[in-house]
Amino acid sequence: MVTLSEIGAGLRYARNDELVVALMVVALAFTVLAMPYRFLLPVLVVDVYELGPRALGLLSSMMGLGAILGASHVALSGNRWRGALLIAGGVVSGAGLLIIGVVPAIAMAVAMSLLIGIGDALRRTLNQALLLEVAEPEYRGRVISIYAMNFGLTPAGALPAGALAEWLGVRVAVFILGILLMSLSVAIGLRRPSLFRYQ
């Protein structure tokens, strides 16, 4: 049975390990800045592209295809440049969001949804794998438990993203999410070069 002291020890370990902290920040950035795009997608399709369910299905399918391509690339790459690929996932997804916010064309949204799916897969597959690898064996379960809490924080990103879309328009909201995601990804890579260079 896990005691409160063991939980506290896990939290202290996660807070004091540089690579674990960087990986947790990457996970949180994607949850709060990339995931809300899914919630804004129906508004984008109806209000900007003036289309219906088929367009929404197409954009969602392109993200799924991108996720398959991104995950396949990770599987084929082995242990080469995994930290750089993780950071690149944030930059790629952020760039996709930024361009969707700038160019109000469904064809561009289709292409960028593929890019967002690739970036998302790079982050998802590598984030958890690297956390499992860098965490000490006795803390591994507790570190992954903290990581799993990120999924419950999706509404924390959807709420301000929705408010931005209501206030400034959905394209501006998506653009801002893209800028923030790209900036944070680059900042993590620069401030934590050990993560960027991690093989």
Q: Rounded to whole angstroms, what are the CA distances from 66 to 44, 96, 112? A: 19, 12, 10
Per-residue model confidence (pLDDT) at position 2 = 56
Per-residue model confidence (pLDDT) at position 113 = 95
Q: Is 151 helix (H, G, I), strand (E, B) or coil?
A: helix
Per-residue model confidence (pLDDT) at position 178 = 94
Which residues of the chain, if any, have pLDDT below 50? none
HSE of 70 in the Cβ direction (CA atoms, 13 Å)? 28
- Using alpha carbons only, what angle is made at residue 187 by residues 97 and 102, rounded to the nearest 5 degrees? 20
Per-residue model confidence (pLDDT) at position 177 = 95
Q: What is the pTM of this model?
A: 0.88
